[in-house]
Structure 1
Amino acid sequence: MAKDLLRIENLRVSFAVHGQLNEVVKGVSLRVPAGRTVALVGESGSGKTVISQSIMGLLPPNGIIHDGRILFADPAKDGKVIDIAELDRDGKKIRKLRGGRIGMIFQEPMSSLSPVHTIGNQIEEALQLHRPHPRKEARAITEEMLGLVGFRDPRRNYDQYPFELSGGLRQRAMLAMALICRPALLIADEPTTALDVTIQAQVLKLMKTLQGEMGMAILLITHDLGVVANVADEVVVVYRGRVMEAGPVDDIFRRPQHPYLKALLKASPDFDMPEGERLVALRDVAPAAPPLDLRREAGNRPASTALLNVRNLRKTYGSKHGARVVAVENVSFDIMRGHCFGLVGESGSGKTTVGNLIMRARTADSGSVIFNDRAGPVDVMGLDDNELRAFRPRMQMIFQDPVSSLSPRMTVLDIIREPMIIQGRGSDAEQKHRAVELMECVGLDPRFLSRYPHSFSGGQRQRIGIARALALNPDLIICDEPVSALDVSVQAQVLNLLKDLQASLGLTYLFVSHNLAVVHYMATQIAVMARGRIVEIGPRDALFHRPAHPYTRSLLKAVPLPDLDRKLDFDVAFTGGASDPVTWPEEFRGTAPGSLEMLDLGGGHFVLADRACTARDVTAA
């Protein structure tokens, strides 16, 4: 058995709030063996990030370790054991450990990196703090590390700023910074939460590879059980500051004992879920019956007809070099009334831009969006400002980030009333009554209307966003990554709520996401986007069981599932990206400019391929 590199014994951490101690970590004990990966799993608020801050000596000033030990056996000092809990958090000893012997990757790479310093300067600073080198030599070591974590041109990348890099590359830069001093322990706090599945697969593969090369241990903090099943050796499950269950990964997934762990495993969407099966939320909040006027409208909406026809959308942006960058190219699809249409792709594929173009939040270069209203078709692109303002209630949007999409200066009542005020709907009393009905409709207590967004959890804030989107009785709601920032259990609550509202109100959704398991649960028709174009479109079953395009296949292979018998295919994690046409077979690249077109595979299933190809050519490729 490997010797313990880190051992936490009966750790208790409290925060001083208004003169009182609020205990958030309640007697946690765990071990991280040398060279192994231990996953610390739990929802937001479970205390897992506070545990990592305690190890790094990064607790806020009001954070107090009032019991327990954090024992670190540093291999560089012949295994001499240091109790981190006893060290002065601003002293030399902890600063020497932090970044030197213990590295950390933070959850959000954009806010963790300085926007005014280059990537190379920031990584080199970590090296010079702990292992000073001559300037030229330090740059060479930094460039070597950039190459090690998968940057294609380290010399050029060294001089780039964070805003010039994609999310995946920023996370690689964070990894390089954490590893530049060759630490014995790497703490990875939700390192892949904000990343697409293919980029996530790349980062996870990279972490496993570097772990093998450097012999370091990893403490992986996450709520994604799919990631845990694919990379962890041991698992520790925490809930409200206590360890619920711990053991080898095989026991945790094959023989779960604690009800909380069993509930977490059932809360994750899965490709094998039968039609009509619901996710099991840990704390399912039953919404009240929707208001009568909403239900009457739902009953009057004819089904089996297209609510929205999108044709040949195109959008380009200018670059600093004067060239035009194509964000959306020739995008066409139909959304049927009462159905959920899924739009899937990596960051930068153009899917959010499509949603913004439909909403007229951005102006398309060309193309049409026809909304089939009860009074007749409406050309959304042709509406002038006054007409667009009057049309807005028919389409609403739920945004990705439930924190930044709600004004911190407005109460929940003001947030939900705002659309009604802008549209001149009802008196003050009617608007307040409507807000109460909507709060009940999304499963929130109307007594919370006088509160501000900061006093709610992420899932509750997203429910407020849903209530705001429903305020004007829309026919179509565009859901832009509505659960990507949420824990798996809260995600299950919100997805179930959206399904319930769709059934009771006859709503139609455009569901934009990079999470294929979520889209599989929500959508009946799905389109896959890569580099601004739809490369495959079809019914859910056809797309998931008979994917034709190599990009779709790569996306499916890159999804980490919480199942030890269906391990992630790390071979999709190649540098260059699954969306790079160079990696596709010739049938999907096109033999000449303009030779690509949508090929009918039958049953409403289409794939973007060379016009010279047949369905047999494509399925055999």
Structure 2
Amino acid sequence: MSETPDILRVNQLRISFQLQRGALDVVRGVSFRVPLGKTVALVGESGSGKTVISQAIMGLLPKAGSISGGQILFDDPLKVDGGEPVDIARLPRDGREIRHLRGGRIGMIFQEPMSSLSPVHTIGNQIEEALRLHRPIKAGEGRSITEAMLEMVGFKNPHRAYRQYAFELSGGLRQRAMLAMALICHPALLIADEPTTALDVTIQAQVLNLMRSLQSDLGMSILLITHDLGVVANMADEVVVIYHGEIMEAGSANDIFRHPQHPYLKALLAALPHFDMKPGERLTALRDTSGDLAPVMTSRRQTLAEQTSTAQPSTPILAVNNLRKTYPGKRSGILGKRAERVVAVSDVSFEIKRGECLGLVGESGSGKTSIGKLIMRAIKADSGSVVFNNGSGPVDVLALHGPAGRRFRTAIQMIFQDPVSSLSPRMTVLNIIREPLEIHNQGSPSEQTARVADLMSAVGLDRRFLNRYPHSFSGGQRQRIGIARALALDPELIICDEPVSALDVSVQAQVLNLLKDLQRELGLTYLFISHNLAVVDYIAQRIAVLANGRIVEIAPRGVLFRSPAHSYTQALLKAVPFPDLDHPLDFTSVALRGASNPKNWAPQFQDEGDPASLTPIDLGQGHIVLARATIDRKELVA
């Protein structure tokens, strides 16, 4: 540990929540420090107490929560000489002193910017409000100071951004707005609670680089709360590992990553997917939640036997050709002219072989989810074709209507990104998983109940939980319920739309291992949509890279990550934070001004306004890249 003076010292902190059955201790004797001008990472799984500790520091504990012991000493660098540190744990919950510190001397970035930003106030109004509450400013100064801060955090047009609402901004820009709000008063300490959890790797790199540069400019300290050890390795000076409200291990980043001692920390590191995993190597989940697939295998074996006897090995189970989808442009004002149509999916073509997992990667807004919805017929395509062939003959998915379309829906199912919003809070788990069986009239009520119980066992959940509601399950368990629902109709193809993006690394390992087991044992085929390249590398056999609605590169996983050809793919790989101190993220070389902007690509990948000038070029070994037809193949390989 360094001898730098501390801006924050947490000593033997205890936090409890008052429940009907009595007090529950959620933080038990936690002690750590945040040195002046340094970054300390608080690492742990969901439920470990990370966010509760941050709420206690900010004086924002829920009414049921209280500090039952310990100290939270904040030593403000701007305090009067000789003044003692403030013990936040002893301040009145809504007193004048804590209101002065909160938002003024201690800023906070919350995990979900969409729920933290007001939908009825502009971004500028919200940021300026924080400024007026904590700093005396003259009339008319607020807007100019706010716009200056918006420019500092990376808004290209701060004057326009001031007037925008949260729903008009992308995830990365909303997080920048949260950062501007937290920094507008130049706090001495910034608490960042999972600031990059749901962001793409390139946007994440932008936000992390921005935090580093602002920390240097403003001289502030950062308490970084996260479960992403890749972010920790690239940001933290010191690391504190917490589990169930207790500190398991603490030390410098060098000690934590090079010489981990506690079994929990070693397990967290082993649960991370990484690019140099050997074929067949599995992630090490912290808890064994393997499912019992035997009950659901009987009917599946019969289905597989029938299809295998008629299917041609070379025939793909799904063939997508020249798929296109556009949306109407936004109208300027009530009666204003509508902007040009937005192209979400443009001339997309790919195939998925039986039993294969094809990964589809790209930034938010690249068209990944739209492609999944087009295949599912959740939205209507403008043009193109989707041909499904499970051995019974080709089926034109986009041309299906009426009873034929209804019957086809059992062949393709979907696992959604957010297990909270995709499960009805008013239905029990039994009814959620049984609903597809009821809609398609498969089996009697007793047979449906038995099928649901078997599916619960298959995804590693106790059959006794069938009458519970989704709110009583953890995030990983809710995602398993979503997987069970997707398996209910015995589908051939499952579209996995960011199924682990919101999960902790340990729970992510469980879900990924489960999906691999299901694929192997049940002969399933996956289209796996994600922005996490390491996750896609672990689960997919081939990977397609999507940018601006077009597939710019597709190849087997080993070929793609070993020798990426397209500028966009290279930028994505450079932006991945590794949990390895020997492979730091090079912030200066990452395309921080827009990896998906064709102007930042090499000339051979730019269409110069004519999309038809780009064509798929075969580089061998199943490696295809979208480039100018006039370019020599040797230049692309090099």
TM-score by length of 1: 0.99
1:313 maps onto 2:340 in alignment: no
Rounded Cα–Cα distance in structure 1 between residues aligned with 2:256 and 2:51: 21
1:549 maps onto 2:577 in alignment: no
Residue equivalent to 2:635: 617
Query: For residues 73-121 of structure 1, what are the alpha-carbon distances to aligned partners after superposition, in whole Å with 9 as ceiling and x for unaligned?
Result: 0111146300000001111100000000000000001111001111111
Rounded Cα–Cα distance in structure 1 between residues aligned with 2:155 and 2:492: 45
Deviation at 1:19, TM superposition (A): 5.1
Residue equivalent to 1:69: 71
Deviation at 1:390, TM superposition (A): 1.0
Rounded Cα–Cα distance in structure 2 between residues aligned with 1:6 and 1:298: 61
Worse-superposed segment, 492-501 or 129-138: 129-138
Residue equivalent to 1:50: 52
Rounded Cα–Cα distance in structure 2 between residues aligned with 1:441 and 1:410: 21
1:344 maps onto 2:361 in alignment: yes
Deviation at 1:137, TM superposition (A): 1.1
Worse-superposed segment, 515-524 or 282-291: 282-291
Rounded Cα–Cα distance in structure 1 between residues aligned with 2:22 and 2:590: 49
SS at match of 1:386: helix
Rounded Cα–Cα distance in structure 2 between residues aligned with 1:450 and 1:499: 28
Matches within 5 A, 1:15-414: 15-18=17-20, 20-78=22-80, 80-290=84-294, 291=296, 292-302=298-308, 305-321=315-331, 322=338, 323-414=340-431
Structure-2 change in CA distance of 1:301 and 1:261 (3 Å): farther
Contact 1:198/1:572 (<8 A) preserved? no
Percent identical among aligned pairs is 67
- Corresponding letter in the other structure for 1:258: H
Rounded Cα–Cα distance in structure 1 between residues aligned with 2:622 and 2:306: 27
Deviation at 1:572, TM superposition (A): 4.7
Residue equivalent to 2:13: 11
Contact 1:297/1:505 (<8 A) preserved? no
- Corresponding letter in the other structure for 1:495: L
Rounded Cα–Cα distance in structure 1 between residues aligned with 2:56 and 2:184: 22
| Alignment size in residue pairs | 620
- Corresponding letter in the other structure for 2:322: N
Contact 2:307/2:390 (<8 A) preserved? no
Deviation at 1:385, TM superposition (A): 2.9
TM-score by length of 2: 0.96
- Corresponding letter in the other structure for 1:295: R
Deviation at 1:132, TM superposition (A): 2.7
Deviation at 1:289, TM superposition (A): 2.4
Structure-2 change in CA distance of 1:301 and 1:525 (3 Å): farther
Structure-2 change in CA distance of 1:377 and 1:557 (3 Å): same
- Corresponding letter in the other structure for 1:616: K
Deviation at 1:592, TM superposition (A): 6.0
Deviation at 1:569, TM superposition (A): 2.1
Worse-superposed segment, 585-594 or 99-108: 585-594
Structure-2 change in CA distance of 1:428 and 1:570 (3 Å): same
Rounded Cα–Cα distance in structure 1 between residues aligned with 2:194 and 2:571: 23
SS at match of 2:185: coil
- Corresponding letter in the other structure for 2:617: L
Unpaired runs of at least 5, structure 2: 332-337
Deviation above 3 Å: which 4+ runs of structure 1?
A: 298-305, 572-575
Structure-2 change in CA distance of 1:486 and 1:2 (3 Å): same
Query: For residues 197-250 of structure 1, what are the alpha-carbon distances to aligned partners after superposition, in whole Å with 9 as ceiling and x for unaligned?
Result: 000000000000000011100000000000000000000000000000000000
SS at match of 1:316: strand
SS at match of 1:326: strand
Matches within 5 A, 1:477-516: 477-516=494-533
Rounded Cα–Cα distance in structure 2 between residues aligned with 1:174 and 1:68: 30
Contact 1:41/1:48 (<8 A) preserved? yes
- Corresponding letter in the other structure for 2:227: H
SS at match of 1:483: coil
Deviation at 1:297, TM superposition (A): 2.4
1:535 maps onto 2:545 in alignment: no
Structure-2 change in CA distance of 1:614 and 1:494 (3 Å): same
Structure-2 change in CA distance of 1:224 and 1:304 (3 Å): farther
Rounded Cα–Cα distance in structure 2 between residues aligned with 1:104 and 1:546: 40
Residue equivalent to 1:415: 432
Deviation at 1:138, TM superposition (A): 1.1
Worse-superposed segment, 301-310 or 191-200: 301-310
Structure-2 change in CA distance of 1:313 and 1:241 (3 Å): same
Structure-2 change in CA distance of 1:44 and 1:299 (3 Å): farther
Worse-superposed segment, 339-348 or 302-311: 302-311
Contact 2:367/2:546 (<8 A) preserved? yes
CA RMSD in angstroms, aligned pairs only: 1.1
Residue equivalent to 2:536: 519
Deviation at 1:133, TM superposition (A): 1.3
Rounded Cα–Cα distance in structure 2 between residues aligned with 1:366 and 1:572: 39
Query: For residues 174-198 of structure 1, what are the alpha-carbon distances to aligned partners after superposition, in whole Å with 9 as ceiling and x for unaligned?
Result: 0000000000000000000010000
Structure-2 change in CA distance of 1:376 and 1:24 (3 Å): same
- Corresponding letter in the other structure for 2:623: H
Rounded Cα–Cα distance in structure 2 between residues aligned with 1:545 and 1:444: 38
Deviation at 1:328, TM superposition (A): 0.3
- Corresponding letter in the other structure for 1:253: F
Rounded Cα–Cα distance in structure 1 between residues aligned with 2:77 and 2:463: 56
Unpaired runs of at least 5, structure 1: none
Rounded Cα–Cα distance in structure 1 between residues aligned with 2:561 and 2:28: 43
